[in-house]
């Protein structure tokens, strides 16, 4: 046997050991991040599904003025002093969300703002909820921080690096050479469950490897924003940041600007832009911070077009126009939309959703293969015929599940954990139905 062949086998053995160690050591967390991240892509839709009162069935008429909206919010929460940020809905059926960053109830938590949902057509306050107390936000916090605050965010960043290494090692192990690609893409289901699961694992890993690399790398940079700043030579490009150094230079008077007036002035340099957010000033030195989205911006939820307006004089204090960004700043604006999938539109979000679900499947199939190799699970022939008889049972369970979700939603306002527990029980019953059918 030649030295080159021995060296190649040793190299493959090293890659295989690395891939196995990563899977056994962090595979479950990879799967958890994939599952929670894929669901969080549609968190607004999930929130409206669980709370139908947050969706306007038949929108009609014009929005109430921003001043009426903020008046309604402050009337509902008269003892909360500080800045409010109004986030405009992304569809005619959505609510305006008023954000209050540091409520006293969750002041010492890493991130748990108050979210007030307001009907934009009537200025009615529909719901007041805390971040983490709804199923959708609880899920997103689990994905981004593991419910551990800053240490959790750092851990997620490290997991991103490990996931890139795992995906890369998987590609190295899969690569069959140019002549063997066709054979490597073949799924053999007549050679037992072990071979079938192995082929599916390799095929799935090959198909989503590039997506995993993208998600893991952008997730790492979101977890470590200072690293992103050093790489791009930028600062203050986080989607939740504002510029505290911009203050009012005018003398306070009896005629301060309202939100409508501030937006009108801010539109001067961006007449065709879409209003996304507006933050109220705090104290005599505070200024309005108005965020718009221009047509070419890929950031749907957190665009970077920003205007700061003095509340007393009405002067524009500063303008941030992405069209004038440096190359480093432009790169920084792409990180969040690439991670969330919104940079690629509805198709991108769907692809990212499937990639997250597939990551969960990779963990399960890899674990099955490892257990078979160790003799903990016996290999057996592949029998897919019972799947033909599961359709009616699965549809029945799914229908009951949808009814349960609907009943849960009608009650509304529940905490996230009870909702999650109820959904989990229903999903478990659905999976048990499939399992019994497969056994038969």
Instruction: Decide if 216 contacts 263 (C-beta within 8 A).
Output: no
Of residues 440 and 342, more confidence is placed in 342
Residue 92 in this model has a pLDDT that exceeds 70? yes
- The domain locations on the chain are 1-51+143-234+345-382, 52-133, 235-325, 384-440
- pLDDT of res. 199: 87
Query: Rounded CA gap, 329 and 185, in Å?
Result: 40
Q: What is the side-by-side strand order in the sheet with 85-87?
A: 124-130, 114-119, 96-100, 85-87, 274-279, 287-293, 305-310, 316-320
Residue 431 in this model has a pLDDT that exceeds 70? no
Query: Rounded CA gap, 331 and 329, in Å?
Result: 5
Mean pLDDT, to the nearest integer, of 210-239? 89
Which ranges constitute the DSSP H helices of 41-148? 43-50, 66-76, 135-145
Residue 122 in this model has a pLDDT that exceeds 60? yes
CA 397 to chain centre: 28
Of residues 150 and 388, more confidence is placed in 150
Helix (H) or strand (E) holding 28: helix 3-40
Helix (H) or strand (E) holding 125: strand 124-130
- pLDDT of res. 389: 52
Query: Rounded CA gap, 80 and 104, in Å?
Result: 9
pTM above 0.75, yes or no: yes
Instruction: Decide if 204 contacts 358 (C-beta within 8 A).
Output: yes
The confidence band for 58, taking pLDDT boundaries of 50, 70 and 90, is: confident
Query: Rounded CA gap, 412 and 89, in Å?
Result: 20
Query: What sign has the CA pseudo-torsion 318, 324, 329, 335?
Result: positive
Query: Rounded CA gap, 17 and 169, in Å?
Result: 10
Q: Which residues contact 152 (CB under 8 A, 6 or more apart)?
A: 144, 145, 146
Q: Which residues contact 395 (CB under 8 A, 6 or more apart)?
A: none
Mean pLDDT, to the nearest integer, of 232-247? 72
Helix (H) or strand (E) holding 336: helix 327-340
Q: How many CB atoms lie within 10 A of CB 145?
A: 20
Can you tell me whether residue 236 is helix, strand or coil? coil
Can you tell me whether residue 87 is helix, strand or coil? strand
Residue 415 in this model has a pLDDT that exceeds 50? no
Helix (H) or strand (E) holding 155: helix 149-174
Is 3.40.50 the CATH classification of the domain at 52-133? no
Residues counted in the chain: 440
Q: Encode pLDDT of 332-385 as tens digits.
A: 999 999 999 998 888 889 899 999 999 999 999 999 889 888 888 888 887 766
Q: Which residues contact 23 (CB under 8 A, 6 or more apart)?
A: 166, 363, 366, 367, 370
Closest C-alpha among 309, 308, 313 to residue 250: 313
CA 431 to chain centre: 25
The confidence band for 264, taking pLDDT boundaries of 50, 70 and 90, is: very high
Mean pLDDT, to the nearest integer, of 234-247? 70
């Amino acid at each position: 046997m030649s030295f080159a062949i021995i060296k190649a086998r040793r190299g493959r053995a090293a890659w295989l050991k690395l891939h196995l160690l990563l899977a056994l050591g962090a595979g479950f967390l990879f799967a958890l991040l994939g599952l929670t991240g894929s669901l969080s892509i549609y968190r607004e839709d999930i929130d409206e599904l669980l709370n139908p009162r947050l969706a306007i069935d038949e929108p009609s008429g014009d929005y109430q003025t921003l001043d009426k909206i903020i008046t309604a919010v402050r009337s509902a929460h008269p003892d909360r002093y500080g800045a409010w940020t109004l986030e405009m809905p992304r569809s005619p059926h959505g609510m305006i969300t008023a954000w209050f960053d540091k409520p006293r109830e969750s002041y010492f938590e890493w991130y748990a703002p108050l979210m007030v949902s307001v009907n934009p057509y009537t200025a009615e306050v529909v719901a007041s909820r805390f971040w983490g107390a709804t199923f959708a936000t609880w899920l997103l916090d689990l994905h981004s921080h593991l419910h551990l605050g800053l240490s959790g965010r750092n851990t997620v960043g490290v997991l991103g690096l490990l996931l890139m290494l795992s995906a890369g090692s998987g590609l190295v192990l899969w690569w069959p050479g140019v002549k063997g690609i066709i054979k490597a893409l073949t799924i053999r289901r007549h050679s037992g469950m072990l071979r079938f699961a192995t082929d599916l694992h390799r095929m799935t890993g090959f198909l989503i490897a590039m997506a995993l690399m993208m998600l893991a790398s952008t997730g790492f940079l979101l977890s470590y924003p200072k690293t992103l700043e050093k790489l791009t030579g930028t600062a203050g490009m986080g989607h939740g940041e504002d510029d505290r150094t911009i203050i009012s230079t005018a003398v306070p008077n009896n005629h301060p600007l309202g939100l409508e007036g501030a937006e009108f002035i801010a539109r001067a340099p961006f007449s065709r832009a879409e209003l996304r957010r507006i933050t109220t000033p705090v104290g005599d030195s505070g200024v309005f911070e108005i965020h718009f989205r221009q047509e070419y911006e890929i950031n749907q939820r957190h665009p970077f077009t920003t205007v700061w307006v003095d509340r007393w004089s009405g002067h524009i204090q500063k303008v941030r126009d992405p069209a004038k960004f440096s190359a480093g700043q432009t790169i920084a604006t792409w990180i969040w939309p690439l991670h969330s999938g919104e940079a690629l539109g509805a198709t991108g979000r769907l692809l990212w959703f499937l990639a997250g679900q597939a990551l969960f499947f990779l963990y399960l199939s890899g674990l099955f293969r490892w257990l078979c190799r160790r003799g903990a699970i016996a290999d057996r022939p592949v029998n897919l015929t019972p799947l033909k008889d599961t359709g009616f049972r699965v549809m029945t369970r799914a229908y009951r599940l949808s009814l349960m979700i609907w009943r849960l939603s009608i009650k509304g306002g529940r905490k996230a954990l009870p909702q999650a527990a109820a959904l989990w029980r229903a999903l478990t019953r659905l999976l048990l139905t499939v399992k019994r059918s497969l056994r038969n």
